[in-house]
Amino acid sequence: MIYVCGTRTTSSEIADLIPPEFFSGYIENQFKTTREFNSSPVFWYETIPNLKGVFVCGIASSHMRRLYVEKLDSLFNMNWSAVEHRSSYVADNSSYGYGTILGINTVIASNTKIGDHCFLNRGALIGHDNQIGDFVTFSPGVNVAGCCTI
């Protein structure tokens, strides 16, 4: 089962990438009275130790995503998952780290390494021989040429 951390627009977009049979709900850290978001259950972050499954951070801002992930990692032994939409393509000799999200129609060309907790929004095209660090966010439709370091 997969839980998406956050209850905002980006979180719902990420939840839509997850097949319904694997999506368990959202994790919230601010609005404790929220019980449901987009017709799915919302769990307060203090309940994380009781939840069985993996997690992905649904916060669009790279800076805020880093703060949130670091806070959760310091409080809990988090089990972060990557999410890859079925329409995305990753070359055999390319890779991405845990917590990374590959949106609809994302393409990662050969010999590219993408770090942890990155968000490649829909239609992102990442060329060959790139090195992408942790917590990088790409806007929809971005096109990164080959041999870049970000």
Going 123 to 19 to 12 to 24, the CA torsion angle's sign is negative
User: Tens of pLDDT along 66-114?
Assistant: 999 999 999 998 999 999 999 999 999 999 999 999 999 999 999 999 9
Nearest to 43 by CA among 66, 60, 25: 25
In Å, how far from its chain's centre is CA 6?
Answer: 11
Confidence of residue 7 (pLDDT cuts 50, 70, 90): confident
Q: Over the chain, what is the mean pLDDT?
A: 95
Instruction: Please give the average per-residue pLDDT across 110-139, as a whole number.
Output: 97
Residue 12 has pLDDT above 90, yes or no: yes
pTM above 0.75, yes or no: yes
